[in-house]
Structures are given as C-alpha cells and as structure tokens.
Amino acid sequence: MPQLRFTPDDWERIEKDYIAWWGGELDRPLVYMGITDPGPKPPYGFMSNYPFDMSIDAIIDQYEAVLERTSFYADGFPWLWVNFGPGIAAGFMGAKVNSVAEPGETVWFSSDEKTPIHELKFSYDPHNIWWKRVKAITAGLVNRFGATLAVSHTDLGGNLDILASIRDTQVLLTDLLDTPQEVTRLVESITKLWVQYYAELDEIIRPTCRGTSCWTPIWSTGKTYMLQSDFSYMISPAMFEKFVLPDLTACCDYLDHGFYHLDGKNQIPHLDALLSIKRLRGIQWVPGDGQPSPDKWPALLKRILDGGKLCQLFVSLKGALNIVRTLGGKGFLLVIQPDEGELTSSEQVEAFLDTLNKEDISRSAKQ
C-alpha cells in the first residue's frame, strides 16, 4: 500500500467538516491546500496520452511517487483526477478522441461522420475503448490506494458540450435555431447516458474511497460532481433555460451534492436560472483569462451566497484573505494556489492559515 501523508484520523476530520459545510453548518471556509515536494512529474497531464499497450499498473506508478511526497494542509486531502480531457463522454458515444502529447499537450473531440441530425442516435456501448480505459484506470487506482485516496470521477462533460463535440460547435449553434426539437431529443439522450456513466464509476469508487470527488478538489460522502456547460457562453438565457436547465436539474436530482462550473463573464446572465435549481448545492466561479481574479467579484459572489448556494474558488494567498475580509469565509471552498516560492515550508503554511482564520474571526466579530 502506498505511504501517503494522510491518516485515517485525517480522513475522519475531513468527513466531519465536509458534512458540516454541505449542511451550511460550518462557520468558516473550507481551505484546500496541497504542497508537493520537488521531484519527477508524470510525463502527461492527460491520461489519454498513455499508449494503450501500457499497463494500468505502469500508468498508476507515474502518480504514486507524486502523491507520496505531497503534504495536505487545512481541509486538503489526497485526490487524483482521472483526466481524459474535458467531456470524454463524447468519446464514449463515438466521437474521435484527438489526444496530442506534443508539441503542447491537448485533447479535443470531433466526428468525421456528418450524420444528419434527425438520424443521429446515442446508445451505451460497454465495449467502447475509451470507456473501458477510464474504468480500468479508475479501478486500478481504487485497488492501489484503497481508502487513502479520493479517486475522481472523470470529466464526463455537459450535454451541449458533448453534442458540440459530435456535431461541431458552429453546426450546433445553427441546430438550436433550425431543429430545436432534435437538439432537445439528443441532449435528453445524452443526459440519460451521463447518469449511467456516473453510476458505473460510482460503483467502482464510492464503496472503497469513502465518498466521491470530480475534476476539481471537492468531496462528498455521497454523489458529487462539478456540472458544466461551457457551450452556454455562446447562447442566450432563453436557450439556456430550454436546452441546458433541464439537464442540470436532472443531474442535480440524481446527485447528492451537485455543483456548477460558471466559466467566464458571458455565463453570468445564466446565474438566476442556476440559482433557481433547488438541488444545485453550489457554484464554482472562474472569471477566465484576462479577467480580474475571483476575489475581485464581490457582488457576484454575494449573489451566489445570498441565493443559498455554496461557492468554490481557485485563489491566491492574497485572494483568500480578500474574500474573508470582504465577505467572510462561511460557504466558501477556497482552493489555494500560491505563487512559486511563496510557501516553501510547513511553518509558512501554518502562518498563512492562522492569519486567514484570524481575519475571518475578526470580520465575524464586527458583524
């Protein structure tokens, strides 16, 4: 069994605090911090770039040493994303998986077959090579690390994102206007398959790994996932409510703790619709390239909290302090991303966490 710097008692603490956070009963922010000692890194960011003739054990070997030299602070926990690219469910449904190792590692999905939309159908294929590979690596990680590691669900993707990978983005934008009933039929089919993929991975992960996680470090004793619809950046609120909201509602009804990845300012017009989803538990705000950092959007963050939702942010040390000073920490999950060399010792980490806690307590006392 790998020797991770995390004990069963640490996991008991994580479980207790995350249950309280999900229930709105934690009066401070959750703070995720993981600091890895220098050393070799896995050759690929995307697991899709490992050749199919490479054994599952050999792939997992690439990550074991990294996990063993990582220390977890505050509410951090050992976590590994089974990363086959954003929206790999498109690959499960027959799209071509374009996984490129170099130059500039990337993954995208496409379809060479231009089937007329009214003839297009999706079905579950248990023999799809990408689905089998994702399940095999997921199972291998669970078997290797047991209850010491939160093994993530892979990034399945959102219904319109998956359909755009198969139809092409520009074509799908036209479909929304020309054949909306066919788009509705297909996204409903995709959502049903999404639930099936999630459930099969859940059967592998949750019995051993104490709970579930996803492509971002968030954890639940039940079923959690960071839902998304990046395609929504390009459509109106009316189209969002017609083509995306039913999917998100269905997924949230299935999940215990559904979250939504609000990516970029052009998705802000959809926020009221998102807040209307009763079982959506939280929203992750990502401003996007060239925009102010997440902590510089206090009015937006307040709308999320006032709407009864939790909020996950990726923030710098200064950003985390700004959040607790302006809005308080309750309801937030702050994933700390220090600049290089900013935190080089456990003493510096503890000093930062102590300052963050004092700022949060000080603000609460003034209210």
Across 154-160, average pLDDT: 97
3 in a structural domain: no
Q: Which helix (H) or strand (E) holds 301?
A: helix 298-306
Compute how many other C-beta atoms are within 10 angstroms of the C-beta atom of residue 114: 10
2 in a structural domain: no
Show Cβ contacts of residue 127 under 8 Å, excluding neighbours closer than 6 positions: none
- CATH assignment of the domain containing 227: 3.20.20.210
226 in a structural domain: yes
Across 259-281, average pLDDT: 98
Report the mean per-residue pLDDT for the chain.
96
* Sign of the torsion angle spanned by Cα atoms 16, 21, 26, 29: positive
Give 281: exposed, middle or buried? Use CB within 10 Å, 0-12, 13-18, 19+.
Answer: buried
pLDDT tens, 301-346? 999 999 999 999 999 999 999 999 999 999 999 999 998 778 878 8
160 in a structural domain: yes
d(CA 346, CA 326): 27
What letter represents residue 157's amino acid?
G
**Going by DSSP bridges, is the β-strand pair 30-36/70-74 parallel, antiparallel, or unpaired?**
antiparallel
pLDDT given at position 72: 96
- Return the exposure string of 322-331: e unless at least 16 CB atoms fall within 10 Å of the residue's CB, then b: bbbeebbbbb
Q: Which domain holds residue 221?
A: 8-366
Q: What is the maximum alpha-carbon separation in the chain? A: 62
1 in a structural domain: no
Alpha carbon distance, N-terminus to C-terminus of the chain: 48
How many domains are there within the chain? 1
pLDDT tens, 223-255? 999 999 999 999 999 999 999 999 999 999 999
pLDDT given at position 367: 66
pLDDT tens, 79-127? 999 999 999 999 999 999 999 998 889 999 999 878 999 999 999 999 9
d(CA 243, CA 265): 20
pLDDT tens, 190-222? 999 999 999 999 999 999 999 999 999 999 999
pLDDT given at position 62: 96
The residue that leads in pLDDT, 3 or 112, is: 3
Q: Which tokens belong to 252?
A: 């949230």
pTM across the whole model = 0.96
CA distances from 218 to 83, 272, 280, 309, 312 (A): 15, 23, 14, 15, 8
d(CA 230, CA 228): 6
DSSP symbols for 163-201: HHHHH-HHHHHHHHHH-HHHHHHHHHHHHHHHHHHHHHH
DSSP symbols for 110-153: E-S----GGG------TT-HHHHHHHHHHHHHHHHHGGGSEEPP
pLDDT given at position 1: 82
Please state, for a pLDDT cut of 70, what percent of the chain lies above it. Answer: 100
Show Cβ contacts of residue 55 under 8 Å, excluding neighbours closer than 6 positions: none
- Nearest in space to 29 (alpha carbons), one of 301, 366, 251, 341: 301
121 in a structural domain: yes
Show Cβ contacts of residue 65 under 8 Å, excluding neighbours closer than 6 positions: 39, 40
252 in a structural domain: yes
pLDDT tens, 62-82? 999 999 999 999 999 999 999
Q: Which helix (H) or strand (E) holds 321?
A: helix 317-326
**Going by DSSP bridges, is the β-strand pair 106-110/96-100 parallel, antiparallel, or unpaired?**
antiparallel
